[in-house]
Amino acid sequence: MQNHGWTLIELLIVLAIITTLTVLSLPQTDYSSRVSIQQQLQRLSDGIQLAKSEAILLGRPVRLCGLSTSTASQCTDSWATGFMIEVEESVIFQHRWTLKGQLTWQGFGSRTYLAIDERGMLRYQNGSFTYCAADLDITKAQQLIVNAAGRTRLAIDSNQDGIRETSNGNPIVCHQRD
């Protein structure tokens, strides 16, 4: 007499295959959007380092600011379109991006741009760039922290609650703009 059943090993293998296929079929937009934002913040960090280098190389103050939505390269207080680096009203670099959310700069001196002196130092402007997703999901919030010397670092989730913390250790907060 033959037994026509499945062994426990066979059932576990089939279950593992089904689980793997199910996970692979789910959309990965959440993860890919977080990686994309981290890449954009890394480009911004690279832009700050480039601005510092140019200020030292040229021996003149440099300004890093938000990029206007128009085709003309103009500084603006909005960072939604990208950023640009200028020396005495001359654009030396610009980077455009498309963000599905809002990027804001908050620093000392309440300027909407970063001023870098000829020594490559920020002019008392340490602060942070904060990205908030369009749906205001706080778990998607990212922050690029900038110190007075112009060194940058990404905010981390030190207590593993799914929300990154500011340089003060407080959770990043996203507000709806009017």
What pLDDT sits at residue 153? 93
Identify the top-confidence range among 55-59, 71-75, 78-82, 158-162.
55-59
pLDDT at 97: 87
Q: What does the mean pLDDT of the chain come to?
A: 86
CB atoms within 10 A of CB 17: 10
Q: In this model, does residue 33 exceed pLDDT 80? A: no
pLDDT at 151: 92
How many residues are given for the chain? 178
The pTM score is 0.76
Q: What percent of the chain has pLDDT over 90?
A: 39
Predicted confidence at residue 70, as pLDDT, reads 77
Q: Which residue has the tokens 């890394």?
A: 42
